[in-house]
Structure 1
Amino acid sequence: MECITWFAPILPGKLDEWKAMVEEIKGPRWEEQVRSWKRMGVTREVASLMQTPEGDSVCLFHEAEDLAKAYQTLATSEDPFDVWFREQLVSLHGLTAEMLQGPPPAEVFFDYRDAG
């Protein structure tokens, strides 16, 4: 299982829109989101809001068997939810589908797990 943490900036003035998108995902679009994660092979995602003097960001933790394949799936899927979600990534974060087609968007320096 692979895992990664990364940050995506929330574009200036878009915090309320980002919060509305999160509420939409947690509410009426929840089943669509779950199906998307399953398509991508994502077994866990944690999204947290981080507010700093430099601006707002979403902090993400993703876990999947193959993270590169998961991001590639999201980047190329024609499923209506995935298309809608990619539009949100562009509008709220400035991230494009092309940015997701390579390796995961961060480099892991270490991954500690307590084996005991």
Structure 2
Amino acid sequence: MKKFAYSFPILKDKVEEWLNFAREVNTTHREEFNKMHQRIGVKKESWFLQESAEGYSVVVYTEAEDEHFMNKFKKDQSGFSQWFREQVSELQDVDLDFTTQMPEIVLDWKEKEE
């Protein structure tokens, strides 16, 4: 399993709408979200809302079968995936089809198992 962490800004006047989007993904769209992750090979995903002096960001932690999950997501033309990308574009001003580049992992610590 490969691990990924990345962040995207949330537009300052869209934080409440973004929180509603997150709730909607986790409730009324949960089954579609699950199916999308199955299609692209994602096994776990967590979202964190981060506030800083620059504003708000969503920090995402993902565990996937391989490093190609984002390319699979970009190619997924299901109605849900298209809706999801549109929401992210509107709330975060991020085009997930073009501006996403996975960061390089530089530290991955784990407590030693005995």
Q: If the length of structure 2 is used for normalisation, what is the TM-score?
A: 0.90
1:79 aligns with 2:78: yes
**C-alpha distance in 2 between matches for 1:49 and 1:10:** 9
Q: Which amino acid aligns with 2:11?
A: L
Superposition RMSD on alpha carbons, in Å? 1.3
Identify the residue that residue 34 of structure 2 maps to in structure 1. 34
**C-alpha distance in 2 between matches for 1:49 and 1:58:** 5
Identify the residue that residue 91 of structure 1 maps to in structure 2. 90
Task: For residue 79 of structure 1, report the CA deviation from its aligned partner.
Answer: 0.3
Structure 1 counterpart of 2:110, from 95, 101, 113: 113
| 3-state SS, counterpart of residue 47 of structure 1 | strand
Alignment of 1:34-53 (within 5 A): 34-53=34-53
**C-alpha distance in 1 between matches for 2:45 and 2:106:** 19
Runs of 4+ in 1 over 4 A off after TM superposition: none
**C-alpha distance in 2 between matches for 1:7 and 1:35:** 23
**C-alpha distance in 1 between matches for 2:63 and 2:20:** 25
- Percent identity between the two aligned chains: 29
| 3-state SS, counterpart of residue 39 of structure 1 | helix
The runs of 5 or more residues in structure 1 that have no matched partner are none
**C-alpha distance in 2 between matches for 1:40 and 1:83:** 14
Q: Which amino acid aligns with 1:82?
A: S
| 3-state SS, counterpart of residue 98 of structure 1 | coil
Task: For residue 115 of structure 1, report the CA deviation from its aligned partner.
Answer: 4.5
**Paired residues, what number?**
112
**C-alpha distance in 2 between matches for 1:115 and 1:81:** 40
Q: Which amino acid aligns with 2:86?
A: E
**Deviations along 1:54-100, whole A, 9 cap, x unmatched?**
10011110111213x21011112110000001111211122211124
Q: Which amino acid aligns with 2:57?
A: S
1:25 aligns with 2:25: yes
Task: For residue 113 of structure 1, report the CA deviation from its aligned partner.
Answer: 2.7
